[in-house]
């Protein structure tokens, strides 16, 4: 955003003169892993249910600081404070596994202090109330976004009766809620509700506004061909999620108003293309660059960095449809909403959003569970986070094993294993070990803030959060780091016979779905969906400099098509920030056949739409059992001569101008900065042309789609 730099400098000065605090990441890490600070919960109205009977421990002479401790021998809490000081001497070995923090001897993660010594954390020890926000007030005050905080010894600490949530903000503990926990692992591979019986699915890849515009066109054609009633599920990632979330949830707007009227390439004159796109496409014309700068600079301190991206995109994408309210939970439909309200009389109907009942029954928004705060994800440990109106979580344990994260001292973690009802996602682990294994009426602490549609699309497209750092002085001078912009939520695994122990929730960094699968296909294959349309709104054209119909067995295909496709056939390399090496689900031979089919289409000038029946291979990381066949239609974004020659001459001329015309990079518009001065936004003409192309690709193959969806 070169145009912004001068503005940034000015804003920077404003910022500097009103500076508040510096975030200390390492403290947050500690807090999340260890949950070591304990709150004086007597001010909480929920004292009784939480049995917060513990008293403030009197200051022992040994202790160097005066943070509020609760009774460490309570059965309910895990307190890491041994009471020992390491101000002058190191911690005594008699205290067990300790570490020195702020001159205090504290138990290492996984241990709790009992009578001054650290013992292994056991089941039924709930998360403690952590009061350390991780913020410092040694020089300036605490950020206002933290809520009720006080400055104690240079640290921003939640006031009594409040505990920190996800991300360094303070909330009052909530009363327990009753939610369904649905195990999905090798012992119980059945998915919950309608997710168990999906017969047809359409998945929309990521790719920012390009993916959104392309998805819009494909949806328009599927609606127009009356095929949507035959689609059981939509699975989407990132930009594909922006489009499908609106499509799934928008009400009080006709399909035509939402997706636009049918087009044929020959009506796409420049005048027609420059018209305001249909409402779903119009969101891709919103330039969020100015919103970014105001959020990052002017109101720094009132917006939590972990929340910035979610807030930004809720405003850009969801607000025009009245779907941006972050106090509203999601529910799948009226029936499940009824059930939730019956179990939880404290919640009201108004607090929920349900999808439009005319849309497919299942909607899966793909995100990634990277690692607990302070640790780093690896190929083995990064798993998908699947967010649906009914359930949210990660099915199966990767390779049916515990995982270790980078920087974690080899400690093992359980991740995945199933779902919790989405309205309960982001809260603490169930109060009982039995409940954590699954059930219809599991008691747990409510999430500190609602898990809303805005959170889900923000997580699904979180890769863009790091682009907030493309204002380099922001990163350097404000001390922001990319991971600070990643959304963070409390997540706990669903346990099983194999892994029976109660496990606390941990604060996980959540990433863009693209980090583990940029197509949404893997989620459908996990559900054993026999018919899948995979829409690739990719930025990488199929290589045209080679003959894919020759013997490809000796050829390195990396880079010859999008990684989002190649990884499913085992052609990948380790990439920074992407965890795709365990994504193989199809035979490499089948890739050779598919690429040859694509090439035949390409040479005929036809859009790249190919149907294939593929054998599904076992995939341990994703918990996919092999030995069955899936019927696929691949829709691959790549220029088509047949579409071009059908365009009005003036439009084709504009396309042919390349970078000097209005359609530079056609049809692979850039994911960010396609137009100078804009971040993710496109011109109306760009949105309309790409949507028209997506629509054309499906309509040109109308027979294939109609036969495919026939039951
Ligand atoms: C902690 O709780 C136990 C049992 O409830 C009690 O016996 C003990 O005296 C308490 N200790 C402190 C320091 O309050
Ligand atoms: C958001 O939803 C909550 C809960 O239903 C409601 O109280 C609040 O007024 C809503 N906010 C807006 C801006 O609509």
Instruction: Write the residue with the smallest CA distance to atom 10 of ligand 2.
Output: 325
Cβ-based neighbour number of residue 20 at 10 Å: 18
> Can you tell me the mean pLDDT for 4-15?
25
For Cα atoms 622, 445, 126, give the angle at the middle one, nearest 5 degrees.
80
* Ligand 1: centre distance to CA 134 (Å): 29
Task: Supply the pLDDT for residue 47.
Answer: 24
- Three-class secondary structure assignment of 40-78: CHHHCCCHHHHCCCCCCCCCCCCCCCCCCCCCCCCCCCC
Instruction: Write the residue with the smallest CA distance to atom 12 of ligand 2.
Output: 325
Biggest CA pair distance of the chain: 86
Cβ-based neighbour number of residue 545 at 10 Å: 5
Higher pLDDT, 165 or 211: 211
**Best-predicted range by mean pLDDT (17-21, 39-43, 230-234, 676-680):** 230-234
* Ligand 2: centre distance to CA 178 (Å): 23
Q: Is 296 left (phi over 0), alpha (psi -120 to 50) or beta?
A: alpha
**Best-predicted range by mean pLDDT (22-31, 78-87, 109-118, 360-369):** 360-369
The tokens for 463 are: 């890769």
Q: Which residues, including other chains, have CB under 8 Å from residue 267's CB and lie 6 or more apart?
A: 648
Cβ pair 77, 125 in contact under 8 A: yes
* Ligand 1: centre distance to CA 70 (Å): 9
**Best-predicted range by mean pLDDT (79-93, 291-305, 680-694):** 680-694
Rounded Cα distance between 711 and 689, Å, is 33
Cβ-based neighbour number of residue 703 at 10 Å: 8
The number of CA neighbours under 13 Å toward the Cβ of 473 is 16
Probe target for ligand 1 pocket from 38, 53, 71, 75, with the most ligand atoms within 8 Å of CB: 71
* Ligand 1: centre distance to CA 562 (Å): 61
Instruction: Write the residue with the smallest CA distance to atom 2 of ligand 2.
Output: 327
Cβ pair 355, 422 in contact under 8 A: no
Instruction: Write the residue with the smallest CA distance to atom 5 of ligand 2.
Output: 351
Ligand nearest the Cα atom of residue 77: 1
Task: Supply the pLDDT for residue 161.
Answer: 64
Ligand nearest the Cα atom of residue 329: 2
**Ligand 1: which atom is nearest the Cα of residue 57?**
13
Instruction: Write the residue with the smallest CA distance to atom 14 of ligand 2.
Output: 325
* Ligand 1: centre distance to CA 614 (Å): 64
- Compute the mean pLDDT over every residue in the chain, rounded to the nearest whole number: 83
Instruction: Write the residue with the smallest CA distance to atom 3 of ligand 2.
Output: 327
**Ligand 2: which atom is nearest the Cα of residue 351?**
5
Of the candidates 158, 127, 135, 139, which has an alpha carbon nearest to the alpha carbon of residue 52?
127
- Three-class secondary structure assignment of 663-709: CCCCCCCCCCCCCCCCCCCCCHHHHHHHHHHHHHHHHHCHHHHHHHH
Of the candidates 427, 424, 383, 425, which has an alpha carbon nearest to the alpha carbon of residue 403?
383
What letters, b where the CB count within 10 A reaches 16 and e where it falls short, cover 124-161?
ebbbbbbbbbbbbbeeeebbebbbebebbeebbbbbbb
What 593-600 contacts at long range (C-beta under 8 Å, 24+ apart), as own/partner pairs, is 594/634, 595/542, 595/548, 595/552, 595/557, 595/560, 595/561, 596/548, 596/549, 598/542, 598/548, 598/561, 598/634, 598/636, 598/638, 599/542, 599/547, 599/548, 599/549, 600/549
Residue 8 phi, psi (nearest 5): -60, -45
327 C-beta closer than 6 A to ligand 2 = yes
Cβ pair 184, 190 in contact under 8 A: yes
- Which of 101-110, 448-457, 475-484 has the weakest average pLDDT? 475-484
* Ligand 1: centre distance to CA 53 (Å): 10
- Which of 166-170, 309-313, 555-559, 614-618 has the weakest average pLDDT? 166-170
26 C-beta closer than 6 A to ligand 1 = no
**Ligand 1: which atom is nearest the Cα of residue 58?**
13
Residue 37 scores a pLDDT above 60: no
Rounded Cα distance between 485 and 623, Å, is 30
Ligand nearest the Cα atom of residue 352: 2
* Ligand 1: centre distance to CA 459 (Å): 43
670 C-beta closer than 6 A to ligand 1 = no
73 C-beta closer than 6 A to ligand 1 = yes
* Ligand 2: centre distance to CA 216 (Å): 29
The tokens for 485 are: 């912009």
Of the candidates 544, 538, 667, 541, which has an alpha carbon nearest to the alpha carbon of residue 599?
544
Cβ-based neighbour number of residue 334 at 10 Å: 12
Q: Is 251 left (phi over 0), alpha (psi -120 to 50) or beta?
A: beta
How many whole angstroms from its chain centre is CA 307? 12
For residue 122, what pLDDT band results from cuts at 50, 70 and 90?
Answer: low
* Ligand 1: centre distance to CA 106 (Å): 20
Residue 483 scores a pLDDT above 80: no
Task: Supply the pLDDT for residue 546.
Answer: 93
Probe target for ligand 1 pocket from 54, 73, 82, 83, with the most ligand atoms within 8 Å of CB: 73
> Can you tell me the mean pLDDT for 436-451?
91
Task: Supply the pLDDT for residue 466.
Answer: 67
Torsion of CA 589, 590, 592, 596, to 10 degrees: 150
Ligand nearest the Cα atom of residue 51: 1
Q: For helices 305-313 and 453-460, give the axis angle rounded to 10 degrees.
A: 100
Ligand nearest the Cα atom of residue 113: 1
Residue 274 scores a pLDDT above 50: yes
Task: Supply the pLDDT for residue 531.
Answer: 98
CA 137 to each of CA 100, 154, 167: distance values in angstroms, whole numbers, following the listed order: 21, 5, 17
Probe target for ligand 2 pocket from 327, 348, 452, with the most ligand atoms within 8 Å of CB: 327
What letters, b where the CB count within 10 A reaches 16 and e where it falls short, cover 427-451?
bbbbbeeebbbbbeebebbbbbbbb
The predicted model scores a pTM of 0.80
- Tell me: cis bond preceding 44? Omega within 30 of 0 counts: no
55 C-beta closer than 6 A to ligand 1 = yes
Rounded Cα distance between 402 and 412, Å, is 6
pLDDT digits (tens, 9 = 90+) for 283-320: 999 988 777 766 666 555 667 777 888 888 898 899 99
**Ligand 2: which atom is nearest the Cα of residue 326?**
1
Ligand nearest the Cα atom of residue 315: 2
The tokens for 428 are: 């603490």
For residue 154, what pLDDT band results from cuts at 50, 70 and 90?
Answer: confident
- Which of 104-118, 262-276, 326-340 has the weakest average pLDDT? 104-118
Task: Supply the pLDDT for residue 194.
Answer: 96
Q: Which residue reads 């939520």 in tokens?
A: 489
* Ligand 1: centre distance to CA 175 (Å): 25
pLDDT digits (tens, 9 = 90+) for 602-611: 999 999 999 9
Higher pLDDT, 437 or 161: 437
CA 543 to each of CA 84, 231, 558: distance values in angstroms, whole numbers, following the listed order: 64, 32, 10
* Ligand 2: centre distance to CA 218 (Å): 33
β-partners of residue 23 are: 135
351 C-beta closer than 6 A to ligand 2 = yes
71 C-beta closer than 6 A to ligand 1 = yes
350 C-beta closer than 6 A to ligand 2 = yes
What letters, b where the CB count within 10 A reaches 16 and e where it falls short, cover 47-69?
eeebebebeebeeeeebeeebbb
Rounded Cα distance between 203 and 386, Å, is 13
328 C-beta closer than 6 A to ligand 2 = yes
**Ligand 2: which atom is nearest the Cα of residue 352?**
5
Q: Which residue reads 């991971």 in tokens?
A: 483
703 C-beta closer than 6 A to ligand 2 = no
Task: Supply the pLDDT for residue 460.
Answer: 95
Task: Supply the pLDDT for residue 33.
Answer: 25
Residue 93 scores a pLDDT above 60: yes
* pLDDT > 70 fraction of the chain, expressed in percent and rounded: 82
Residue 597 phi, psi (nearest 5): -65, -45
Cβ-based neighbour number of residue 267 at 10 Å: 15
Cβ pair 552, 593 in contact under 8 A: no
Ligand nearest the Cα atom of residue 328: 2
- Which of 1-10, 302-311, 447-456 has the weakest average pLDDT? 1-10
The number of CA neighbours under 13 Å toward the Cβ of 280 is 34
- Which of 434-448, 519-533, 534-548, 655-669 has the weakest average pLDDT? 434-448
* Ligand 2: centre distance to CA 327 (Å): 6
Higher pLDDT, 510 or 431: 510
* Ligand 1: centre distance to CA 110 (Å): 22
The tokens for 451 are: 């898990």
């Amino acid at each position: 955003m070169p145009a912004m730099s001068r503005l940034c400098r000015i804003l920077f000065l404003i910022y500097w003169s009103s500076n508040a605090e510096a975030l200390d990441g390492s403290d947050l890490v500690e807090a999340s892993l260890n949950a070591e600070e304990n709150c004086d919960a007597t001010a909480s109205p929920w004292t009784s249910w939480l049995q917060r009977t513990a008293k403030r421990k009197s200051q022992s002479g040994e202790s160097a600081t005066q943070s509020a401790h609760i009774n460490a021998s309570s059965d309910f809490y895990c307190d890491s404070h041994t009471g020992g000081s390491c101000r002058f001497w190191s911690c005594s070995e008699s205290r067990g596994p300790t570490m020195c923090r702020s001159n205090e001897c504290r138990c290492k993660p996984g241990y709790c202090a009992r009578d001054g010594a650290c013992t292994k954390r056991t089941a039924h020890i709930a998360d403690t109330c952590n009061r350390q926000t991780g913020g410092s007030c040694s020089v300036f005050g605490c950020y206002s976004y933290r809520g009720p905080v006080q400055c104690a010894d240079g640290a921003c600490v939640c006031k009594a009766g409040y505990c920190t949530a996800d991300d360094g903000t303070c909330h009052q503990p909530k009363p327990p809620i009753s939610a369904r926990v649905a195990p999905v692992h090798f012992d119980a591979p059945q998915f919950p509700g309608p997710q168990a019986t999906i017969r047809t699915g359409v998945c929309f890849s990521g790719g920012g506004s390009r993916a959104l515009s392309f998805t819009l066109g494909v949806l328009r054609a599927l609606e127009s061909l009356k095929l949507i009633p035959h689609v059981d599920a939509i699975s989407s990632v990132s930009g594909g999620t922006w489009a499908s979330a609106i499509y799934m949830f928008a009400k009080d707007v006709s399909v035509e108003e939402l997706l636009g009227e049918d087009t044929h390439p020959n009506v796409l004159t420049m005048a027609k293309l420059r018209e305001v796109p249909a409402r779903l496409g119009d969101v891709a014309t919103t330039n969020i660059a100015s919103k970014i700068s105001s959020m990052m600079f002017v109101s720094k301190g009132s917006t939590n960095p972990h929340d910035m991206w979610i807030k930004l995109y809720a405003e850009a994408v969801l607000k025009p449809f009245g779907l941006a309210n972050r106090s509203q939970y999601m529910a799948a439909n009226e029936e499940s909403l009824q059930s939730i309200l019956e179990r939880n009389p404290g919640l009201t109907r108004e607090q929920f959003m349900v999808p439009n009942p005319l849309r497919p029954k299942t909607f899966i928004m793909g995100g990634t569970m990277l690692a607990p705060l302070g640790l780093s994800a690896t190929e083995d440990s990064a798993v998908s986070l699947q967010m649906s109106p009914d359930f949210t979580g990660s099915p199966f344990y990767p390779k049916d094993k515990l995982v270790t994260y980078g920087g974690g001292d080899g400690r093992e973690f359980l991740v995945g294993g199933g779902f919790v009802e989405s309205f309960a996602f982001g809260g603490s682990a169930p109060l009982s070990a039995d409940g954590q294994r699954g059930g219809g009426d599991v008691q747990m602490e409510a999430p500190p803030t609602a898990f809303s549609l805005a959170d889900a699309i923000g997580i699904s497209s979180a890769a863009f959060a790091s682009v907030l750092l493309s204002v380099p002085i922001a990163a350097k001078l404000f001390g922001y780091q990319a991971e600070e912009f990643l959304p963070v939520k409390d997540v706990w695994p669903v346990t099983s016979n194999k892994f029976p122990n109660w496990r606390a929730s941990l604060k996980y960094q959540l990433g863009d779905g693209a980090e583990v699968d940029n197509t949404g296909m893997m989620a459908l294959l996990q559900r054993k969906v026999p018919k899948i349309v995979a829409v690739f709104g990719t930025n990488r054209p199929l290589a045209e400099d080679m003959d894919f119909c020759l013997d490809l067995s000796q050829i390195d295909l990396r880079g010859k098509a999008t990684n989002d496709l190649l990884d499913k056939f085992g052609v990948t390399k380790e990439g920074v920030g992407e965890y795709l090496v365990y994504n193989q689900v199809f035979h490499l031979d089948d890739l050779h056949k598919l690429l040859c089919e694509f090439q035949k289409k390409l040479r005929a000038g036809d859009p790249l739409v190919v149907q294939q029946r593929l054998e599904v291979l076992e995939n341990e990381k994703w918990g996919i059992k092999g030995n069955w066949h899936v019927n696929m239609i691949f829709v691959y974004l790549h220029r088509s001569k047949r579409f071009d020659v059908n365009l009005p001459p003036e439009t084709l001329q504009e396309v042919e101008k390349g970078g000097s015309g209005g359609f530079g990079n056609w049809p692979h518009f850039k994911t960010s900065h396609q137009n100078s001065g804009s971040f993710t936004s496109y011109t109306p003409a760009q949105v309309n042309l790409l949507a028209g192309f997506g629509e054309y690709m499906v309509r040109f193959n109308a027979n294939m789609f109609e036969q495919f969806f026939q039951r």
